[in-house]
């Protein structure tokens, strides 16, 4: 009953073939790029989620970068603080030896000399660069050496405090030098450099009576013990921060893995499915072409002689 | 004589049918061609002795195989298909802009944040400042470039719509001429069928550009109306369509219909179908929404980052300068206005800006502001007024009743979105003030968190907190009013002079904490941390920048996907309408081949009749010999 016009028959066949070809082209693009979602319209809600997941991965990378920077700074600081502790231990040994009544003025001069060189070692360490343009004991931040010998003795040029990095986990990237080493201002902790200098001067002073010398050396020992306590306290804090940084790194790595998995499940192509679908489509295209060739070959005109 | 006459009539009929069949075969692929059939009838007979005898055959008409209802259905489906196709093709271009997630706005923003994180890590290193500024510049360029791409698509769409209007006008003119020819032609004129085909084909072609309603008059001419009901062709008069920027709203395309001297703006929402409708919907809805969202993002970045910059100090200790800048909204007075008001608009709070444009209209003495994205209206009591983070001001003149000002805010401000910062040294990574505990403190008091919350914070004069016990303190310093006996509780926030401080630990009598100027702003990273934290702040009308980017992408994708689905649906409709029309009017070559054989045989038979008559005549002649 329904007539089909010849032009319509041809049009339908062409439509079928071009539709299949378009589908094949899309599939081929997916397979070669490995991405299921190439344009937002391929899957709008997945595209929006992909954008967020991609951003999540990037943010986690940023956080990981900050944590790894903090770890570097923390280990530098820990090394420096440990070195300081060694300096104090050696100073302690010297002072104990000097405090012995059997020590001669010549011995004490040698001790004083070593103390001064230990004090200089400590001072250099207090101003040690982090190798990146900053300082380990920069407090709240300075781009100059934090400790200077000014008119009033040892001064701390940075603000007391510490610098932080990290968004999820706050980690120190500097140590409060004022608290650790003290200054000469007299208001707070006496500068450890002054303590070592002063006791060295006392040892060098051949005119000082032994009682006064004992008093001086004992006071210096107490001060050095106090400094060592501060150093080990800070060292413990740094250790804690390192542990936090390690934990943060682990959780970031887990987060990154999750976010990356999510991203690939959102945007990635299921290769097995895509390839089998591509095979099915090419079979369909082949069939469409063959049937078209067969049908269009059928014509009554072929039989009119 | 009878037999010869009958034979001749049969020969004529068969010949006409063969001609019609050949013509059908010739036009099998001609668009709009309707198959023609020859109508024949037996000629009236003659009463002879013994009864009536037939008088042969007669060609009564050559008839077009045509169904008006099916033709109209096809035209409507073509309108729908052309509209969805035009919209889908345009949206496809927009979709392409957001196709690469790895180098898009969102990715640029993340890279920028990575640069800020490096400034947090190494505030003393000027290289980190340079990298961060470079990345911010890339971000601004990407957003600005996306705006530029959208503007190009808008320009192309306008040009396309104009070209479609021109082609519609040409066809309308042609149709008016065909009406004239039909009117002049005789009803049995041999060209009539082809003229009618041409008429219908023109209506069909016009339908692809704009949806029409056609009315066939008794004399065969057609009257054509738009979906809005306005006449496009009446008899031999054709109207003219023109496309341009809407006179009332500079962010829209408008359509105008000119008939003789009469000019009429058409409501494009009622276009109903055709390529023009698709282009209008894309320009006025899809593209405008995307552009407004992009502008909202640019305003949010400008507001958020410039504010945070203003709270800090740069490397040289100067107050932070702006990072981004946006263009001012564009205001256009409608050409129909009778008043002379000059209105301007300014973004005063980019964090609450809506992704929309506005119109300001004087109605019945009231000044009505319409937000175009959701048609929400606000009556303004005088100017200046601030709504949705925009301040509207009357610069000069006055509005007359009925006057309209079109305001392109969100869709225009990304036009010049760019970096305002001149040098990397201007990153305000430092806070101007810092809390420092007294050097001689004996308790465990420590500053826990500190933030400068006001760009005008007074931070040059030190403020000292002196503890009078473990849970009380006095404050001294300019701007504080020197309050005494304040209660201290760990973690509780105190605000003075535009900053906020929380402390922890247990203070002892005489312990102090001083909030004073930052010693070395070039090495401080506290405001840089605040800048980094902006990536998690709801800067764009309650959304983070990332959320805003992802919803823009999702929106463009959803619109494109739905336009493509519409296209597929209309294609199915059109194919079925085409099939229905073709089943009546289309040519089937096998059918014509069969007819060819049939009429060829009829022709041969008729010729045989004539030769028989000849033999009969010859026989008669031999009788006389």
Task: Find chain A residues with C-beta within 8 A of B434's C-beta.
Answer: 140, 159, 161
Residue of B nearest to A179 (CA): B439
pLDDT tens figures, B106-137: 999 999 999 999 999 999 899 999 999 999 99
Chain B (221-280) residues lying within 8 Å, Cβ to Cβ, of chain A = none
pLDDT grade, residue B453 (50/70/90)?
confident
- What distance in Å separates the CA atoms of residue B80 and residue B131, rounded to the nearest whole number? 52
Task: Find chain A residues with C-beta within 8 A of B92's C-beta.
Answer: 41
Res. B189: pLDDT tops 60: no
Q: What is the pLDDT of residue B85?
A: 95
Does the beta-carbon distance from B519 to A158 stay under 8 Å? yes
Q: What is the pLDDT of residue A186?
A: 67
- What distance in Å separates the CA atoms of residue B455 and residue B309, rounded to the nearest whole number? 8
- What distance in Å separates the CA atoms of residue A191 and residue A152, rounded to the nearest whole number? 12
For residue B278, the distance in angstroms to the closest alpha carbon of chain A comes to 18
For chain A, the first-to-last Cα distance in angstroms comes to 28
pLDDT tens figures, B226-259: 988 899 999 999 999 999 999 889 999 999 999 8
Task: Find chain A residues with C-beta within 8 A of B118's C-beta.
Answer: 65
Q: What is the pLDDT of residue A12?
A: 85
Res. B564: pLDDT tops 60: yes
Q: b or e along B456-479 (b: 16 or more beta carbons within 10 Å of the residue's beta carbon)?
A: ebbbeeebbbbbbeeeebebbbee
Please tell me the pTM assigned to this model.
Answer: 0.89
Q: What is the pLDDT of residue B191?
A: 60
Mean of pLDDT over chain B? 92
Q: What is the pLDDT of residue B187?
A: 55
For residue A120, the distance in angstroms to the closest alpha carbon of chain B comes to 23
Strand partners, A2: none
- Answer whether B558 touches A (CB < 8 Å): yes
Q: How far, rounded to the nearest angstrom, does the alpha carbon of residue B179 sit from its chain's CA centroid?
A: 37
Minimal CA–CA distance to A130: which of A163, A160, A99?
Answer: A163
Calculate mean pLDDT across residues B600-608: 93
CA A285 → CA A26, A28, A271, A278, A282, distances in Å?
Answer: 14, 14, 21, 10, 5
pLDDT tens figures, B27-61: 988 888 999 999 999 988 777 777 778 888 999 88
pLDDT tens figures, B342-379: 999 999 999 999 999 999 999 998 999 999 999 999 99
Task: Find chain B residues with C-beta within 8 A of A15's C-beta.
Answer: 575
- Answer whether B26 touches A (CB < 8 Å): no
Beta-carbon contacts below 8 Å between A and B: 223
Q: What is the pLDDT of residue A178?
A: 92
Angle in degrees, CA B466, B471, B472, rounded to 5? 40
Q: What share of chain A is helix, strand, coil (3-state, %, to 5)?
A: 70, 5, 25
- What distance in Å separates the CA atoms of residue B279 and residue B266, rounded to the nearest whole number? 15
- What distance in Å separates the CA atoms of residue B498 and residue B290, rounded to the nearest whole number? 38
Select the residue of B121, B430, B557 nearest A41 (Cβ to Cβ). B557
Task: Find chain B residues with C-beta within 8 A of A267's C-beta.
Answer: 101
For residue B34, the distance in angstroms to the closest alpha carbon of chain A comes to 11
Mean of pLDDT over chain A? 91
Res. B604: pLDDT tops 90: yes
Calculate mean pLDDT across residues A182-209: 87
- Answer whether B177 touches A (CB < 8 Å): no
Q: What is the pLDDT of residue A9?
A: 85
Give this complex's ipTM: 0.89
Res. A1: pLDDT tops 70: no
Residue of B nearest to A140 (CA): B524
Task: Find chain B residues with C-beta within 8 A of A61's C-beta.
Answer: 114
Select the residue of A8, A38, A48 nearest B554 (Cβ to Cβ). A48
Q: Where are the alpha helices (DSSP H) in A148-209?
A: 177-181, 192-204
Does the beta-carbon distance from A65 to B92 stay under 8 Å? no
Give the E-state strand segments of B181-306 in sequence order: 212-216, 222-226, 231-234, 237-238, 240-245, 253-259, 262-266
Select the residue of B121, B430, B578 nearest A165 (Cβ to Cβ). B121
- What distance in Å separates the CA atoms of residue A34 and residue A271, rounded to the nearest whole number? 8
Res. A22: pLDDT tops 80: yes
Q: Where are the alpha helices (DSSP H) in A100-149?
A: 105-126
Calculate mean pLDDT across residues B62-90: 93
Does the beta-carbon distance from A133 to B551 stay under 8 Å? no
Most distant CA atoms of chain B, gap in Å:
163
- The answer to whether the Cα torsion of A70, A73, A75, A78 is positive or negative is negative
pLDDT tens figures, B501-519: 999 999 999 999 999 999 9
pLDDT grade, residue B595 (50/70/90)?
very high
Minimal CA–CA distance to B497: which of B529, B528, B533, B463?
Answer: B463
Task: Find chain A residues with C-beta within 8 A of B107's C-beta.
Answer: 54, 58
- Answer whether B551 touches A (CB < 8 Å): yes
Select the residue of A51, A157, A185 nearest B439 (Cβ to Cβ). A185
Select the residue of A6, A12, A43 nearest B588 (Cβ to Cβ). A6
Does the beta-carbon distance from B113 to A58 stay under 8 Å? yes
Q: What is the pLDDT of residue B479?
A: 83
Phi then psi dihedrals of residue B451, to 5 deg = -145, 140
pLDDT tens figures, A57-110: 999 999 999 999 999 999 999 999 999 999 999 999 999 999 888 888 899 999
Select the residue of B104, B434, B588 nearest A140 (Cβ to Cβ). B434
Res. B184: pLDDT tops 50: yes
- Answer whether B587 touches A (CB < 8 Å): yes
**Tokens (6 digits) for A299:** 């014509």
Percent of all residues in chain B with a pLDDT value above 90, rounded to a whole number? 75
pLDDT tens figures, A282-294: 999 999 889 888 8
- What distance in Å separates the CA atoms of residue A239 and residue B150, rounded to the nearest whole number? 54
Does the beta-carbon distance from B98 to A47 stay under 8 Å? yes
Among B182-196, B245-259, B477-491, name the one with the lowest average pLDDT: B182-196
**Tokens (6 digits) for A301:** 């005109």
Q: What is the pLDDT of residue B625?
A: 63
Task: Find chain A residues with C-beta within 8 A of B117's C-beta.
Answer: 62-63, 65-66, 165
Which residue carries 């009829």 as its tokens?
Answer: B602
């Amino acid at each position: 009953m329904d007539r089909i016009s010849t032009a319509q028959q041809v049009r339908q066949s062409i439509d079928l073939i071009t539709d299949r070809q378009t589908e094949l082209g899309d599939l081929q693009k997916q397979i070669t790029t490995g991405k299921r979602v190439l344009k937002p319209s391929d899957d709008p809600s997945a595209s929006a989620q992909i954008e967020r997941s991609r951003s999540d991965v990037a943010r986690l990378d940023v956080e990981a970068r900050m944590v790894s920077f903090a770890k570097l700074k923390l280990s530098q600081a820990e090394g420096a603080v440990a070195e300081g502790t060694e300096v104090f231990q050696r100073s302690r040994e010297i002072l104990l030896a000097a405090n012995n009544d059997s020590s001669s003025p010549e011995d004490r001069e040698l001790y004083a000399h070593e103390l001064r060189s230990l004090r200089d070692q400590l001072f250099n360490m207090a101003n040690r660069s982090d190798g990146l343009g900053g300082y380990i004991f920069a407090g709240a931040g300075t781009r100059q050496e934090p400790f200077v010998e000014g008119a009033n003795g040892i001064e701390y040029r940075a603000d007391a405090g510490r610098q932080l990095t990290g968004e999820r986990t706050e980690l120190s990237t500097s140590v409060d030098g004022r608290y650790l080493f003290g200054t000469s201002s007299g208001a707070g902790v006496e500068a450890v450099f002054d303590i070592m200098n002063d006791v060295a001067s006392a040892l060098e002073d051949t005119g000082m009576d032994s009682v006064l010398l004992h008093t001086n050396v004992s006071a210096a020992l107490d001060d050095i013990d106090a400094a060592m306590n501060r150093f080990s306290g800070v060292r413990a804090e740094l250790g804690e921060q390192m542990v936090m940084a390690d934990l943060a790194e682990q959780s970031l790595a887990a987060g990154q893995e999750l976010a990356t998995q999510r991203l690939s499940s959102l945007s990635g192509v299921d290769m097995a499915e895509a390839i089998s679908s591509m095979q099915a489509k090419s079979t369909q295209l082949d069939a469409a072409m063959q049937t078209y060739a067969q049908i269009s070959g059928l014509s009554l005109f072929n039989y009119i002689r | 004589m009878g037999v010869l006459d009958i034979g001749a009539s049969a020969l004529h009929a068969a010949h006409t049918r063969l001609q019609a069949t050949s013509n059908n075969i010739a036009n099998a692929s001609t668009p709009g061609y309707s198959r023609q059939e020859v109508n024949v009838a037996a000629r009236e007979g003659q009463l002879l002795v013994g009864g009536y005898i037939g008088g042969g055959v007669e060609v009564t008409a050559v008839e077009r195989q045509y169904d008006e209802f099916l033709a109209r259905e096809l035209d409507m489906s073509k309108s729908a298909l052309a509209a969805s196709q035009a919209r889908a093709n345009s949206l496809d271009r927009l979709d392409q802009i957001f196709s690469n997630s790895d180098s898009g706005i969102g990715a640029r923003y993340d890279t920028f944040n990575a640069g800020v994180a490096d400034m947090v890590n190494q505030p003393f290193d000027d290289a980190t400042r340079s990298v961060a500024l470079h990345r911010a510049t890339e971000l601004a360029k990407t957003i600005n470039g996306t705006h530029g791409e959208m503007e190009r698509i808008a320009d192309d769409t306008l040009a396309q719509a104009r070209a479609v209007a021109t082609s519609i006008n040409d066809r309308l003119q042609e149709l008016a001429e065909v009406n004239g020819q039909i009117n002049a032609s005789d009803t049995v004129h041999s060209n009539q069928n082809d003229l009618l085909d041409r008429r219908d084909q023109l209506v069909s072609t016009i339908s692809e550009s704009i949806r029409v309603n056609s009315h066939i008059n008794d004399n065969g001419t057609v009257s054509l109306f738009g979906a809005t009901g306005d006449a496009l062709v009446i008899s031999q008069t054709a109207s003219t369509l023109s496309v341009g920027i809407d006179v009332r709203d500079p962010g829209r395309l408008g359509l105008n219909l000119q008939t003789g001297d009469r000019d009429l703006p058409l409501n494009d929402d009622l276009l109903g179908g055709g390529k023009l409708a698709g282009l209008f919907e894309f320009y006025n809805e899809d593209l405008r929404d995307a552009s407004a969202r992009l502008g909202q993002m640019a305003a949010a970045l400008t507001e958020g980052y410039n504010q945070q910059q203003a709270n800090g100090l740069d490397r040289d200790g100067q107050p932070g300068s702006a990072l981004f800048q946006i263009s001012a909204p564009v205001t256009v007075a409608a050409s129909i206005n009778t008043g002379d008001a000059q209105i301007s608009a300014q973004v005063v709070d980019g964090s609450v800006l809506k992704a929309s444009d506005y119109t300001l209209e004087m109605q019945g003495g009231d000044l009505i502001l319409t937000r175009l994205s959701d048609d929400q209206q606000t009556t303004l009591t005088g100017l200046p007024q601030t709504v949705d983070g925009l301040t509207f001001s009357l610069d000069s003149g006055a509005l007359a009743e009925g006057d309209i000002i079109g305001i392109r805010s969100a869709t225009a401000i990304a036009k010049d979105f760019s970096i305002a910062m001149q040098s990397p040294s201007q990153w305000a990574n430092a806070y101007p003030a810092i809390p420092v505990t007294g050097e001689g403190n004996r308790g465990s008091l420590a500053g826990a968190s500190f933030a400068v919350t006001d760009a005008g914070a007074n931070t040059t004069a030190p403020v000292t907190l002196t503890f009078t016990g473990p849970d009380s303190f006095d404050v001294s310093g300019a701007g504080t009013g020197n309050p005494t006996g304040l209660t201290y509780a760990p973690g509780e926030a105190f605000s003075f002079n535009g900053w906020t401080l929380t402390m922890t630990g247990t203070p002892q009598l005489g312990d102090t904490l001083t909030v004073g100027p930052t010693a070395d702003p070039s090495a401080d990273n506290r405001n840089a941390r605040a800048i980094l934290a902006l990536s998690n702040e709801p800067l764009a009308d309650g959304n983070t920048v990332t959320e805003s980017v992802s919803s823009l992408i999702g929106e463009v994708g959803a619109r494109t996907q739905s336009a493509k689905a519409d296209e597929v649906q209309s294609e199915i409709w059109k194919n079925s309408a085409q099939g229905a029309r073709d089943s009546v009017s289309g040519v089937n070559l096998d059918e014509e081949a069969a007819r060819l054989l049939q009429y060829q045989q009829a022709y041969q038979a008729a010729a045989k009749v004539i030769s028989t008559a000849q033999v009969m005549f010859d026989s008669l002649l031999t009788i006389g010999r």
